Structure 1
Amino acid sequence: MSVTGELYNVKSSDCFLNHSTNLNERTLTPEEMEKLKTDTAVVSDFKQKKLETDAQKNWDLFYKRNTTNFFKDRHWTTREFDELKNCRLSDGQTFKLLEAGCGVGNCIFPLLEEDLNIFIYACDFSSRAVEFVKQNSLYSPKRCLAFQCDLTKDDLQTTIQAETVDVATLIFVLSAIHPDKMRQSIENIFRVLKPGGVVLFRDYGLYDHAMLRFKSGNKLGENFYVRQDGTRSFFFSREHLGSLFQQAGFEASMNEYVLRETVNKKEGLCVPRVFLQSKFCKPVPSESIRQ
């Protein structure tokens, strides 16, 4: 299995040393355990409320600073998820995909280049990111519909007809949402998925290196942190993630940690990366099975 992740605010010259999937969380060193144990200071309620109020503004500023240059195109998704590869086998029928949290299109444009029988709904919290998607030379309204959407509030059915999407992707997106609002976001996706449809998930796992890099004063809650630019990141255990999706009506077909080590040659660092890679299916009603 090839594995790919994203480093946010971590300079890296990646050299893959090893990688594996695991049902158990990463084992911490004594020093790492002590660091997490002593990091008990939590950001004030006033600042946390302001971060929530300014969440969209902070992501718009992120894309204003970085434009389309921050993340690399995700050519790895069809290697990791057979559901995206199999859309080529649709017998001429259009495969409908929802890319929830599309950013500037790093996932959707490689997919559009690879397959002619796909239509992508691409939404993002940042209106600036959506504009970058629409400005891309590969963007065509015949094959893609990009729109601004707050997954924690907006009903996707205002843009997408209920139960019409074959596959939805949540790739490094849910971690940026306040934990109290994650379930609502997942339920909104559930409503537009076809019975039997699947959510493909990739995000930060518990005890990832990025989690351990946060200094004291950046903690918002359990496994939840704020970066210097005001954007936030949550680090998932597989149990917590599985419970979130189960409560929203999904069934897990895969939910595993991806463990990886990367090297920054210039700084002589070897750092452990932890991601969760999962697939959650929308059940098919029993009446449909009998028919």
Structure 2
Amino acid sequence: MNDEFVARAQEVLARDTSTVPEFWQNKYRDEAAKNWDKFYNRNATNFYKDRHWTDREFEELRPGYTFAEKNPVLLEIGCGVGNFILPVLERNPSVYAYACDFSPRAVDYVKASDGYNPDRCHAFVCDITQDQLTDTIPPHSVDIVSSIFVFSALPPEKQAAAVSNIVRVLRPGGRVLIREHGLYDMAQLRFKPGRKLADNLYVRQDGTLSYYYSTERLRELFVAHGGLVELDNDYVFRRLTNVKKELDVDRVFVQARFQAPLDSSALETALQDAHIVGPQTEEERRQAWEALYMHGCVPPPAQ
């Protein structure tokens, strides 16, 4: 991030020294699912727009992307009312999808949608911080797990449990695609005093939580804790301008891809796929490392 931008943001955040009282902190953390269910009761399917931008950002979601399986399996966590999963199914006729949310009302909206086909999609209620995904999904069977603005709704102390839950259904070489609210985003800087629960964790007026991520925090969760390989993990900056509303603000997101490593027996296959056997020269070793990286066996090669 730009040093000047970070300094300005930190100055704004430093002014807010108050935190929500402990009783209310515990209540908001414990009732996260309940408050999101109320959110969907108020807004139905009218709040979020369909997310048609996702396959532009993540090549894995594009029709025809090559997977180990002929018919790739996708799991969307925090599916809401289907603004992500339904467009994906429409564009990708070969995909089978699981979709879960901890709001029963949201899952009901997905199932009632015209685009929902139980032969191609199974939507179910699940709190990924405590309900085991393997109760519904076979272990290590999912090619892609998508998480679009989901982990920000979870209290920090429950995020690691959610990662462990996801890893259990991710196949070797499978990928996790994430987009989250980033540290110093406009929405974080605009919270008024009395809304902060902890560092980078806030509660909205409707009782739902919002956590703001650094790339380091995502790396801690998915690499250090989850044991995945980091493919990409960067900040995404967008300038939001609306002349009519007199808006000109910075939006900050974190976008990342993590991959489940292959076991040692698959290393030789990875090398053979790249037509590399017995690397000797520096260039051959570099090519071998890149081949293993693309198969989720090692971290990215040094730049």
Same fold (TM over 0.5): yes
Give the structure 1 partner of residue 259 of structure 2. Answer: 281
2:132 aligned to which of 126, 134, 155: 155
Aligned-residue RMSD, C-alpha: 1.7
1:193 aligned to which of 161, 165, 170: 170
Instruction: After superposition, give the CA deviation of every residue in 1:29-50 in whole Å (9 maximum; x if it has no partner).
Output: 7664332112111111110111
Give the SS at the match of 2:5: coil
**Separation of aligned partners in 2, 1:41 and 1:91:** 51
Which 5+ residue runs of structure 2 have no aligned equivalent? Answer: 270-303
Give the structure 1 partner of residue 283 of structure 2. Answer: none
- Bigger Cα Rg: 2
Give the SS at the match of 1:70: coil
**Separation of aligned partners in 1, 2:38 and 2:114:** 23
Written as runs of structure 1 = structure 2, the 5 A alignment for 1:31-180 is: 32-85=9-62, 87-89=64-66, 93-180=70-157
Q: Which amino acid aligns with 1:285?
A: D
**Separation of aligned partners in 2, 1:169 and 1:29:** 29
Change (3 A) 1:182 1:92: closer
Change (3 A) 1:169 1:27: farther
Change (3 A) 1:66 1:144: same
TM-score, scaled relative to structure 2: 0.85
Could you say which structure has the greater relative contact order, defined with CA pairs below 8 angstroms and 6 or more residues apart? 1
Q: Which amino acid aligns with 1:147?
A: F
Shift in Å at residue 168 of structure 1?
0.4
2:234 aligned to which of 256, 264, 267: 256
Instruction: After superposition, give the CA deviation of every residue in 1:47-98 in whole Å (9 maximum; x if it has no partner).
Output: 0111122211110110011100101001111111011115554598211000
Give the structure 2 partner of residue 271 of structure 1. Answer: 249
Q: Which amino acid aligns with 1:235?
A: Y
Q: Which amino acid aligns with 1:213?
A: R
> What's the % identity of the aligned pairs?
49
Change (3 A) 1:87 1:44: farther
Q: Which amino acid aligns with 2:128?
A: L
Instruction: After superposition, give the CA deviation of every residue in 1:212-252 in whole Å (9 maximum; x if it has no partner).
Output: 01000000100110000000100011111111111111111
Change (3 A) 1:80 1:29: closer
State whether residues 52 and 87 of structure 2, in contact with CA within 8 Å, keep that contact through their aligned partners in structure 1: yes
State whether residues 255 and 279 of structure 1, in contact with CA within 8 Å, keep that contact through their aligned partners in structure 2: yes
TM-score, scaled relative to structure 1: 0.88
Which 5+ residue runs of structure 1 have no aligned equivalent? Answer: 1-23
Give the SS at the match of 1:28: helix
